[in-house]
Amino acid sequence: MGEPPDCGLQQLMSPHHRAGVRVFPDEVQHPGVQVLDAAEVELSFVAALAEEMNCTGMSRGGRGRRRLGVGGVDGPLSDQRLRACDSLRHESVGERVAARRGSGRVGGQWLEEDGPHPFPRHVYVFISAPLNSADLREIGRERERESERESFTIFPSTRSKKFTRVIPFGLPLMGLLMLMYASSILYLVFIVWRKIDQRRDKDCYILDYQCYKPTDDRMLDTGFCGELIRRTKNLGLLEYKFLLKAIVSSGIGEQTYGPRMVFAGREANPSLADGLVEMDEFFHDSVQKLLDRSGIAPSQIDVLVVNVSMLACIPSLSARIINRYKLRHDVKVFNLTGMGCSASLISVDIVRNVFKSYKNANALLVTSESLSSNWYCGNDRSMILSNCLFRSGGCVMLLTNNRALKGRAMFKLKCLVRTHHGARDESYGCCLQKEDDKGLPGFHLGKTLPKAATRAFIDNLKEIAPKILPARELLRYGAMTLVRKMRQGSAKLSGPRPAMDFRTGVDHFCIHTGGKAVIDGIGANLQLSEHDLEPARMTLHRFGNTSASSLWYVLAYMEAKRRLKRGNRVFMISFGAGFKCNSCLWEVVRDLGNEEEGKGNVWEDCIESYPSKNLVNPFMEKYGWINQEEPSTFNTDSLLRYN
C-alpha cells in the first residue's frame, strides 16, 4: 500500500490561512504507520510540526519565532535535524515525520491564535525507523502521483478512505458561497410557499344561502289571475286566447307569488315606492335569516354585491342594505342592474375576482327582481308574455375564502364561464325593456329569442366542456366527430350528430327556469333524463321564473331531497338579456340535507308533495271555454261567471 499523501500543512500555517485545520481519520493500515488513540498516545505528528515551526524561525535569523502552546517534548531533538530544517521546509508533513529519528512524547495540545484546536480521535504516527535510498525514491514517486491527482481535484474526496487529509475550513470565499446558496434556497422555498398560500386563499366557497318565500297573501292562484286579466281593459278576445295558451304551456302552478301592488289594484300605475317596498320585504326577511343561521355578524361582511335588473334608485339598493344592517365603511360594494336572468352567476364571478385580491374575506350576494315597476298592462303579445312567466322571489348567499370557515362551507366553485353575444344585433334585441306604441312600459321577448339562446348556449358549452368533462369523454367525442366527417364526404349524413355526455363529469344540473320550453330544450341538447330535469320542472311549477334567483331554488330542491353528497359536482346554467349565457360548476364540500340544515330551506313545508304527478295547469279547465268564443259575441264580463 502507498504512503499517506502530502497534507500541505506548511501552507495551512501561512499568515493567510489561520482559520484552522481538520485532520480526517484513516482506517487503512500502512507499513511503518500505527493508528493511535489520542487518549492513549500523544502525537509525534505534533512534534514534527513543532520542529518545522522552530526550524522556520531559525532559518529566518530568529525573527518571528514563537511557541504555539506545545507542551514538553520527551526525547532529544538531534542537532543534525535542526541543521536540516531549511532542506525540509518544502517537504510534506508525512515526509518530515518519516524523517524524524527517535521517538518522543508530546503533551498538551496545539494552539493557534484563535484558540485551541482539539486533537482528532485517530491520526497517523510514524514509528521511527531508518529509511534507505529505495524508501526515499518510493516516497518521491508517491508524492508525484499524489500531485497529479490533486491537480484534477478541487475538493478532497469524501468517498475514498485510503489516506488522511488536512482540509482548511472557514475560508471567507467559501463562507460567502455557502451564504449565497443558502439564501437562494430559502428564497425559492419562500416563493413556492407564497404561491401555494395565495392559491389556497383564492378559492370561493358558499358558506350558506337563503331563498326568499313571500307571504301567502301574495300568492297568484287561478282565480286571482282571472280577475287580474279581466281588469286589464286593453285586452281583447285574441289576447285572452294567447294568454290562456301561454299560461297553460308555461309549466307554472297555482302557488307562485306576485308583487303586492297587483293585489292592491295599482298594476296600471305603479310607483317607485311599490318597487322599494317589494325589495325591502325581501331584504329584511332573507338577509336577516341568513346572518342569524350562519353566525356571521354584519360587521364581518367585506364585500356586498346586489343585482336587481329592473329597478334602479338613488341611493342604490345596496346602500339600503348597508344602512339597514350598518355594514362597515370600508365594505366593497357592487350594485348591478340590467343584467337579466344571468345576473346571479355574474355576481358570483365578481366575488371570485375580489377574493383573488383579499384574503379571509366574507361576501354577501343578494339577487332578486322587481316586478312592480314592470308589470305590463298593454296588449302587445311580446310583452304580455312576461306577466305569465315572471314571479316574485330572491336569494341571499354568503360566500367566503376564509380558511377558518372552509370546514363549514357547502359548495366550492370549480370554474365559471361567461358568454356575451351583445355584438350581434339579433341577440341584442331579442330580450329588452321598452315601451309599447301607447307608451306603456314592459319587458319585450322577441321571436328570435330561441335562436339567440341556442347560439349562446353552444358557445358557452364549447368553452366550459374541456374544464368539467374527463379526458376520456373528450377523446370519445373527438373521435366520433372525426369519423362522421370522414364518412360524410360531399354528401350529408342523416341521423343525430355526436354529442358530449355531460353526465360523465356532472352529477346534478341546475337549469334556469325560464319556461317549460327552455328546460325541454336544454334537456334535449345535453341528453338529460327526467331525473336530471326534475328539480328545474318542480321549481318552475312551485315558484315560477324568479329571474336570476331561480337557480338557487333549483339547488334548494336538490338539498331538500338529500341528493347532494360530498364530492358531487353541480352544473349551473342560466340565460340573460344581452344576450348572455353563463355557467359554472360547484363541488359539494359535505353531505347536505340533514334535519338541522333543512329547517331554513324554502322547500321545507312542501317537499313531501314533490315531484308532483300532475303538472297540468288548471287554467285550461277553468278558462278553456275562451277558445270557443267568437270576437263578435265575446264580452269580458263573461270572465266573472268563472271567478
Spell out the SS3 assignment of 548-593. Answer: HHHHHHHHHHHHHCCCCCCCCEEEEEEEECCCEEEEEEEEECCCCC
Residue 519 confidence (pLDDT) above 50? yes
Model pLDDT, residue 149: 59
C-alpha cell at 444: 319585450
Structural domains of the chain, ranges and CATH numbers in brackets = 9-170 (no CATH), 202-482+497-642 (3.40.47.10)
Residue 584: phi and psi, rounded to 5, are -155, 165
Higher-confidence residue: 439 or 8? 439
The answer to whether residue 410 scores a pLDDT higher than 90 is yes
For 100, list phi and psi in degrees, rounded to 5.
Answer: -70, 130
Q: What is the pLDDT of residue 540?
A: 95
pLDDT of residue 497 exceeding 50, the answer is yes
pLDDT more than 90, % of the chain: 44
Q: Name the burial class of residue 53, with classes exposed (0-12), middle (13-18) and buried (19+) by CB atoms within 10 angstroms of its CB.
A: buried
The string of pLDDT tens digits covering residues 158-189 is 444 444 444 444 457 778 888 888 899 999 99
For residue 129, pLDDT beyond 70:
no
What is the DSSP track for 398-422? Answer: EEE--GGGGGG-SEEEEEEEEEE-T
Which pLDDT value is given to residue 186? 92
- The SS3 call for residue 563 is coil
Which amino acid makes up residue 70? V
Q: Radius of gyration of the chain from Cα atoms?
A: 45
* Residue 369 buriedness (CB in 10 A; 0-12 / 13-18 / 19+): buried
Q: Each residue of 425-483: pLDDT tens digit? A: 999 999 998 998 888 888 999 989 999 999 999 999 999 999 999 999 999 999 988 88
Strands 303-308 and 362-368: parallel
- Between CA 410 and CA 418, with CA 414 as vertex, the angle to 5 degrees is 115
**Percentage of the residues of the chain whose pLDDT score is greater than 70:** 71
Residue of higher predicted confidence among 583 and 3: 583
Count CB neighbours of 65 within 10 A.
Answer: 13
d(C-alpha 80, C-alpha 83), whole Å: 5
What's the whole-number mean pLDDT along residues 568-597? 91
Residue appearing with cell numbers 334537456:
523
Say which residues have a Cβ less than 8 Å from residue 562's Cβ, sequence separation at least 6: 592, 593
Ramachandran angles phi, psi of 292, nearest 5°? -65, -45
Residue 147: per-residue pLDDT: 67
Helices and strands of the chain, counted as H and E runs:
23, 21
In this structure, are residues 423 and 396 in contact, taking their beta carbons and an 8 Å threshold? no
Distance (Å, whole) CA 422 – CA 339: 12
Which residue shows C-alpha cell 286579466? Answer: 229
Question: What's the grid cell of residue 300?
Answer: 364581518
Q: Which residue has the higher pLDDT, 515 or 568?
A: 568
> What mean pLDDT comes out for the span 368-376?
90
3-state secondary structure of 567: coil
In contact, 449 and 430? CB cutoff 8 Å: yes
Give the number of other Cβ atoms within 10 Å of residue 288's Cβ.
15
Kind of pairing between the strands at 332-336 and 303-308: parallel
β 411-420/394-400 pair status: unpaired
**Complete DSSP assignment for 231-253:** H-TT--HHHHHHHHHHHHHHT--
Residue 347, C-alpha cell as written in the block: 355576481
Identify the band that residue 494 occupies on the pLDDT scale cut at 50, 70 and 90: low
Overall pTM > 0.75: no
pLDDT class of 72 with cuts at 50, 70, 90: very low
- Cα 227 to its chain centre, rounded Å, is 52
If you average pLDDT over residues 297-321, what whole number do you get? 95
What residues are labeled active site? 341, 420, 508, 512, 541, 545
534-562 b/e with 16+ CB inside 10 Å = b?
bbbbbbbbbbbbbbbbbbbbbbbbbbbbe
Residue 604: is its pLDDT beyond 60? yes
* Cell digits of residue 117: 484546536
Q: Give the tens place of pLDDT for each residue, 605-636.
A: 999 999 987 777 777 777 777 777 776 666 66
Contact between 70 and 46 (Cβ < 8 Å): yes
Residue whose C-alpha is closest to residue 533's, from 511, 515, 557: 511
Tell whether omega for the bond before 611 is within 30 degrees of 0, i.e. cis: yes
d(CA 168, CA 170): 7
pLDDT value, residue 635: 65
Hey, what's the cell of 610? 314533490
DSSP structure class, residue 283:
I
Distance CA 452, CA 456 (A): 6
**For all residues of the chain together, what is the average pLDDT?**
78
Give tens-digit pLDDT for 534-568: 999 999 999 999 999 999 999 999 999 999 999 99
pLDDT grade for 507, boundaries at 50, 70 and 90 = very high
Candidates 162, 135, 165; CA nearest to 32 is: 135
Question: Which residue, among 638, 546, 551, 617, has the nearest Cα to 218 in the 3D structure?
Answer: 546
CA proximity to 509, closest of 563, 458, 546: 563
**Higher pLDDT pick, 585 / 264:** 585
* 414, amino acid identity: K
